[in-house]
C-alpha cells in the first residue's frame, strides 16, 4: 500500500504543478511572480520536461508483453527508441515474456512485485481495477487516448467512467484461415465442406475446442449465452438450456459430430502453426497474431474469412465468437509511475501501433492507423471485420474457463453418454460463486 500511495502522490503532484502554472493570474501579486522567467514557465508547462526535471538516478522499469518472437522483437525496438527519445534519462528497462491471457492471474499473485507496465486482454480490466492493480490514466503526456483511439477500445479500458489502460490493438478475436489450393472459396463458409475437403486431400482442420474461448463460438452462434453478471465476478450461462431451438444438448452433440471427422484436430496455436508449416493442415480457427506464419506457408493460396456455419439438428448455424482488445496497463504500485505511464503511452501511440501491426498482424486501435492502406488491405483484418457482426465482447467471470475447457475436451473426445448431464455439470461450474 505504501508504494501505491507514493505513486499516486507523485502523479497528483505533477498534475498540481501543471495546474498551478496555468492559474497564477487570479492573484493581484501574480505579476511579480510571473516576471521571474517566461522560459522556465514554458518548460514547466510541458509535463514531459517536468518529469525529466524531477528525475534523479536510474529509472528501473519492467515491461511484460507477449512471449511470441514477433512481440518480443518489436517491443525491444520500441523500448530502444523510447530510450533514445528521452536520452537525458538513464533507463534500465527489462522486457519480460507474459501471455496477455495470463497477465491478471500472474500479476495479482504479488502486485507490488509485478511489472511496471504490462499488456493484457481487455476482459481482465474489471478485476484488475477492483484489485487496485491498475493506475488510472489521469495524466497524459504526448497524446490523449480519448481523442485518438476507437470508442470500442476506450470502452474496454474504462470502468465507471475512468480510463485505466491504453488501447494497443483492436483485433483480439478469431476467424477462419484456409488454404485455397485445398478449400475453394465457396466451401469456406461451411464447416461440413471444409472437413470434407480436408479429408479428401489428406489434410487437417485445427480448432482448440478444449479452450473455452473458442468453444464459445458454437454455443453463441446457436443463440445461447455466457455473460458477466452485474456483480462483475460471476457468469450467467444457459448452455444447458432445454427450451431453446436448438437446445444446448443439440449443440453439444453437433460439436462431437464435427470432431469425429478424421480431419478435425483439437490443437492450440503453436501446434496449429507447426502443422501448417509442415504442410499437414489446410484450415484453422485462429487470429491476426498468426497471419504472418500462415501467409509464409500458403502464400498466394492464403484465404481468410468469417467463421463457417456448422450443422445443428439438421440446420446450418453461423458460428459466433469473442471479440476484444489488447491494452497496456500501468501498475498502481510502480515506483516510477510517471515514467511507466509515459512508456505505456509511447508504446501505444499511432506510430508504434503501426509498428506492432506490421510485426504481428494485429490490427491497431488508433483511428487514423485503421484507415491506412496497410491495414485495410490485410486479409486477416478483413476476415475479422466480416466476423464482427457475429462477435461479442469477452465478458465472463473467472469460473468460466476451467469448466468450459473441460466441457470442450469432453465434447471433442465424445466419451459421454448423456449430453444434458454433461452440460448441467459444466454450467454449474461456470456459474458458481467466485471465491
Helix (H, G, I), strand (E, B) or coil at 153: helix
Name the band, by pLDDT with cuts 50, 70 and 90, for residue 244: very high
pLDDT of residue 402: 97
Side-chain-facing half-sphere of 93: CA atoms under 13 Å: 26
Q: pLDDT tens digits for 363-407? A: 999 999 999 999 999 999 999 999 999 999 999 999 999 999 999
Average pLDDT over residues 37-51: 66
Question: Topology of domain 175-323+378-430, per CATH?
Answer: D-Maltodextrin-Binding Protein; domain 2 (3.40.190)
- Burial code of 134-145, b = ≥16 C-beta within 10 A, e = fewer? bbbbebbbebeb
Q: What is the mean pLDDT of residues 113-124?
A: 97
Classify domain 2-164+326-364 by CATH architecture.
3-Layer(aba) Sandwich (3.40)
CA distance 288 to 285: 11
Q: Which residue has the cell 496449429?
A: 272
Residue with cell 518529469: 51
Q: Quick check: 431 pLDDT over 70? A: yes
**Average pLDDT of the segment spanning 93-106:** 96
Region(s) of the chain under CATH 3.40.190.10? 2-164+326-364, 175-323+378-430
Place of cell 483511428: 367
pLDDT at 176 over 60: yes
Could you give the CA distance from residue 109 to residue 97 in angstroms, rounded to a whole number?
Answer: 16
Q: Give the span between the Cα atoms of 351 and 128, in whole angstroms.
A: 27
**pLDDT tens digits for 304-349?**
999 999 999 999 999 999 999 999 999 999 999 999 999 999 999 9
Predicted confidence band of residue 14 (pLDDT cuts 50, 70, 90): very low
Do residues 247 and 169 lie in contact, with contact meaning Cβ atoms separated by under 8 Å? no
Q: Using alpha carbons only, what angle is made at residue 331 by residues 122 and 354, rounded to the nearest 5 degrees?
A: 55
For the chain, give the number of residues: 435
Q: Could you tell me what percent of the chain has a pLDDT over 70?
A: 90
pLDDT, mean over the chain: 91
Predicted confidence (pLDDT) per residue in 126-142, tens digit:
999 999 999 999 999 99
Residue 410's pLDDT is what? 99
Mean pLDDT in residue range 97-126: 96
**CA–CA distance, 7 with 336 (Å, rounded to integer):** 7
User: Is pLDDT of 13 > 70?
Assistant: no
Q: Read out DSSP for 48-113?
A: HHHHHHT--S-EEEEEEE-SSHHHHHHHHHHHHHHHHHTTTS-EEEEEEE--TTTHHHHHTT-GGG
Give pLDDT, residue 28: 33
- Eight-state DSSP code of residue 136: P
Give me the mean pLDDT over the 60-73 stretch: 96
Cell numbers standing for residue 16: 498540481
Structural contact between residues 337 and 345, judged by C-beta atoms closer than 8 angstroms: no
Residue pLDDT, tens place only, 191-230: 999 999 999 999 999 999 999 999 999 999 999 999 999 8
- Residue 45's pLDDT band (boundaries 50, 70, 90)? confident
Q: What is the pLDDT of residue 40?
A: 45
Q: Please tell me the predicted confidence (pLDDT) of residue 21.
A: 35
Question: Residue holding cell 465457396?
Answer: 186
Query: What is the rounded distance in angstroms from the CA atom of residue 379 to the CA atom of residue 300?
Result: 11
Average pLDDT over residues 13-22: 37
pLDDT score of 435: 84
Distance between CA 231 and CA 18 in Å, rounded?
38
Residues 92-97, mean pLDDT to the nearest whole number: 98
* Contact status, residue 378 vs residue 291, Cβ threshold 8 Å: yes
- Contacts of residue 348, defined as CB under 8 A and 6 or more positions apart, other chains included, come to 145, 166, 167, 168, 328, 365
- Quote the pLDDT of residue 64: 99
- Residue 77 is predicted with a pLDDT of 99
- Confidence at residue 108, expressed as pLDDT on a 0 to 100 scale: 97
* Residues of the chain above pLDDT 90, percent: 87
Sorted by sequence, the CB contacts under 8 Å of residue 382 that are 6+ apart come out as 304, 376
Per the structure block, which three cell numbers stand in for 405? 475447457
Instruction: Return the pLDDT at 391.
Output: 94
Amino acid at each position: 500500500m505504501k508504494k501505491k500511495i507514493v505513486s499516486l502522490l507523485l502523479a497528483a503532484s505533477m498534475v498540481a504543478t501543471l495546474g498551478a502554472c496555468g492559474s497564477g493570474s487570479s492573484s493581484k501579486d501574480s505579476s511579480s511572480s510571473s516576471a521571474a522567467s517566461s522560459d522556465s514557465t514554458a518548460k514547466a508547462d510541458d509535463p514531459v520536461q517536468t518529469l525529466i526535471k524531477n528525475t534523479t538516478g536510474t529509472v528501473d522499469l519492467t515491461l511484460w508483453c507477449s512471449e511470441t518472437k514477433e512481440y518480443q522483437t518489436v517491443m525491444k525496438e520500441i523500448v530502444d527508441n523510447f530510450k533514445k527519445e528521452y536520452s537525458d534519462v538513464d533507463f534500465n528497462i527489462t522486457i519480460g515474456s507474459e501471455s496477455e491471457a495470463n497477465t491478471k492471474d500472474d500479476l495479482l499473485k504479488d502486485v507490488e512485485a509485478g511489472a511496471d507496465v504490462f499488456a493484457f486482454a481487455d476482459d481482465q480490466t474489471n478485476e484488475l481495477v477492483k484489485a487496485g492493480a491498475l493506475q488510472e490514466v489521469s495524466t497524459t503526456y504526448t497524446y490523449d487516448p480519448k481523442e485518438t483511439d476507437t470508442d470500442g477500445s476506450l470502452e474496454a479500458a474504462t470502468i465507471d467512467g475512468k480510463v485505466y489502460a491504453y488501447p494497443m490493438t483492436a483485433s483480439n478475436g478469431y476467424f477462419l484461415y484456409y488454404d485455397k489450393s485445398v478449400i475453394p472459396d465457396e466451401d469456406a463458409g461451411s464447416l461440413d465442406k471444409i472437413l470434407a475437403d480436408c479429408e479428401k486431400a489428406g489434410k487437417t482442420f485445427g480448432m482448440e475446442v478444449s479452450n473455452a474461448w473458442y468453444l464459445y463460438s458454437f454455443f453463441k452462434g446457436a443463440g445461447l449465452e455466457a455473460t458477466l453478471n452485474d456483480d462483475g465476478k460471476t457468469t450467467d450461462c444457459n448452455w444447458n438450456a432445454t427450451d431453446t431451438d436448438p437446445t444446448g444438448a443439440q449443440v453439444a452433440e453437433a460439436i462431437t459430430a464435427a470432431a469425429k471427422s478424421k480431419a478435425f484436430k483439437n490443437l492450440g496455436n503453436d501446434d496449429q502453426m507447426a502443422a501448417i508449416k509442415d504442410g499437414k493442415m489446410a484450415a484453422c480457427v485462429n487470429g491476426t497474431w498468426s497471419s504472418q506464419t500462415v501467409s509464409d506457408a500458403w502464400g498466394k493460396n492464403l484465404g481468410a474469412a468469417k467463421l463457417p456455419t456448422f450443422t445443428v439438428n439438421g440446420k446450418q448455424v453461423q458460428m459466433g465468437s469473442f471479440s476484444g482488445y489488447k491494452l497496456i496497463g500501468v501498475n498502481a504500485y510502480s515506483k516510477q509511475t510517471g515514467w511507466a505511464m509515459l512508456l505505456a503511452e509511447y508504446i501505444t501511440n499511432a506510430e508504434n501501433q503501426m509498428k506492432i501491426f506490421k510485426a504481428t498482424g494485429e490490427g491497431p486501435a488508433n483511428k487514423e492507423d485503421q484507415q491506412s492502406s496497410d491495414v485495410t488491405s490485410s486479409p486477416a483484418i478483413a476476415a475479422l471485420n466480416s466476423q464482427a457482426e457475429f462477435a461479442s465482447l469477452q465478458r465472463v467471470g473467472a469460473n468460466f474457463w476451467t469448466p468450459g475447457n473441460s466441457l470442450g475436451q469432453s465434447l471433442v473426445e465424445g466419451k459421454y453418454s448423456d449430453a444434458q448431464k454433461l452440460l448441467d455439470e459444466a454450467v454449474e461450474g461456470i456459474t458458481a460463486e467466485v471465491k
